[in-house]
């Protein structure tokens, strides 16, 4: 499966063409993406926060699921690259009239867009679009079902690298609803690829997927044991419907057993980073004192997210352009 993913995402020269998942991508490419994002951080500090890399290109945010934070950072990233941006909230338009995903994307393709940023509730939707609908248009996965959220994973990797350096020296714990989290899956794959030797997942048994060990992680059901001496703690957002489905007894019980508080954070290394993809449920997965405390880099993650999404867009557009040139030469 990894080879299929990498073949679809890369052009003949090994450049990024779509960004659908971190699975199957080599360490060299993930490192190049982080290096490129590092260079874009400086753009956000300028008086004029723009570079001309995507001038004349059209980027469509195609969100079949609502997510103001992710859509806004993608929009800002595209505008900083000088692209024209079109926002489409499909959940309230065509698909509600009976139009299929295939129909919707074909109509968008006819508008001559150069890149689609796609968020969809079904796992594999971004792959389907890249494979079946728009091979000549760069597709960036902004989250699909429980499957993948690759740009979130890479902004998390940039956060860790900027604040802790070499992945090969680190212990990283991911805490919460692993079963339903596309962020957890993408982070585990990215950490593994970048050489992190100690990846821990901490969750109740009801919120762990079957075969979790295949990700090269250590599994803990006890937060206090799992957090001991870790360098980084990534908390996951707990969605309310998990409690309604009977997978958890209550918010209060989850917080008592798995909430990150000053007391439980003290079990990690004294300078351990605290991360969270947002939005935060205060008093459910994390205490306000921790979320607002000196070890939290949650707002930094948002800043780094813009730079990462700029890097992904610029690299994918360059890869698509190269592939088109190769196709024309072959003809």
DSSP assignment of 100-136: -HHHHHHHHHTTT-SEEEEEESSTTHHHHIIIII-TT
Same domain assignment for residues 127 and 197: no
Longest dimension (CA), the chain: 65
| CATH number of the domain where residue 253 is located | 3.40.50.1370
131-135: long-range contacts, CB 8 A cutoff, minimum separation 24: 131/8, 132/102, 133/102, 133/105, 133/106, 133/109, 134/105, 134/109
Contact 92, 114 (CB under 8 A): no
3-state class (DSSP) for residue 232: strand
Same domain assignment for residues 308 and 265: no
Provide the domain limits for residue 206: 150-298
Same domain assignment for residues 11 and 89: yes
Spatial separation of the C-alpha atoms in residues 321 and 227, rounded to whole Å? 45
Same domain assignment for residues 108 and 183: no
pLDDT of residue 155: 98
Query: How many domains would you assign to the chain?
Result: 2
Spatial separation of the C-alpha atoms in residues 206 and 177, rounded to whole Å? 9
pTM beyond 0.85 = yes
Contact 147, 124 (CB under 8 A): yes
Residue recorded with tokens 């400086």:
42
Dump pLDDT digits (tens) for 195-206: 999 999 999 998
Dump pLDDT digits (tens) for 163-196: 999 999 999 999 999 998 999 999 999 999 999 9
Same domain assignment for residues 97 and 182: no
Locate the DSSP E strands across 90-236.
115-120, 138-144, 171-175, 198-202, 218-220, 232-235
pLDDT of residue 3: 47
Which residue ranges of the chain lie beneath pLDDT 70? 1-6, 91-99, 240-249
pLDDT of residue 96: 56
Same domain assignment for residues 56 and 138: yes
Same domain assignment for residues 143 and 8: yes
DSSP code for 48:
S
The two structure tokens encoding residue 41: 């951080």
pLDDT of residue 105: 73
Same domain assignment for residues 271 and 139: no
Same domain assignment for residues 286 and 157: yes
Same domain assignment for residues 229 and 239: yes
How remote is the C-alpha of 267 from its chain's centroid? Answer: 27
Same domain assignment for residues 308 and 287: no
Spatial separation of the C-alpha atoms in residues 244 and 227, rounded to whole Å? 28
Same domain assignment for residues 28 and 134: yes
pLDDT of residue 54: 97
Dump pLDDT digits (tens) for 135-144: 789 999 999 9
Contact 41, 49 (CB under 8 A): no
pLDDT of residue 1: 36
């Amino acid at each position: 499966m990894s080879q299929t993913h990498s073949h679809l995402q890369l052009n003949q020269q090994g450049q990024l063409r779509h960004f659908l998942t971190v699975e199957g991508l080599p360490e060299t490419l993930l490192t190049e993406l982080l290096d490129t994002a590092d260079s874009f951080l400086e753009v956000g500090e300028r008086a004029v926060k723009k570079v001309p890399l995507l001038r004349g290109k059209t980027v469509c945010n195609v969100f079949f699921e609502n997510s103001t934070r992710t859509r806004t950072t993608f929009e800002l990233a595209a505008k900083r690259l000088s692209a024209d941006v079109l926002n489409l909230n499909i959940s309230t338009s065509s698909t509600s009239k009976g139009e299929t995903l295939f129909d919707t994307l074909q109509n968008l393709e006819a508008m001559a867009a150069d890149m689609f940023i796609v968020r969809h509730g079904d796992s594999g939707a971004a792959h389907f679009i890249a494979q079946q609908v728009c091979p000549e248009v760069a597709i960036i996965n902004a989250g699909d079902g429980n499957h993948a959220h690759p740009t979130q994973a890479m902004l998390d990797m940039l956060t860790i690298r900027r604040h802790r350096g070499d992945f090969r020296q680190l212990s990283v714990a991911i805490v919460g609803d692993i079963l339903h989290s596309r962020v957890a899956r993408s982070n585990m794959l990215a950490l593994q690829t970048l050489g992190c030797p100690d990846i821990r997942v901490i969750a109740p048994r009801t919120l762990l997927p079957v075969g979790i060990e295949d990700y090269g992680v250590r599994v803990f059901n006890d937060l206090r044991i799992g957090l001991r001496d870790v360098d980084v703690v990534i908390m996951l957002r707990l969605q309310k419907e998990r409690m309604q489905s009977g997978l958890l007894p209550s918010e209060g019980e989850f917080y008592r057993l798995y909430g990150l508080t000053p007391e439980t954070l003290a079990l990690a290394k004294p300078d351990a980073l605290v991360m969270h993809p947002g939005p935060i449920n205060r008093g459910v997965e994390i205490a306000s004192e921790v979320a607002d405390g000196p070890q939290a880099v949650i707002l930094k993650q948002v800043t780094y997210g813009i730079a990462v999404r700029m890097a992904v867009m610029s690299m994918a557009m360059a890869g698509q352009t190269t592939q088109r040139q190769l196709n024309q030469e072959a003809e």
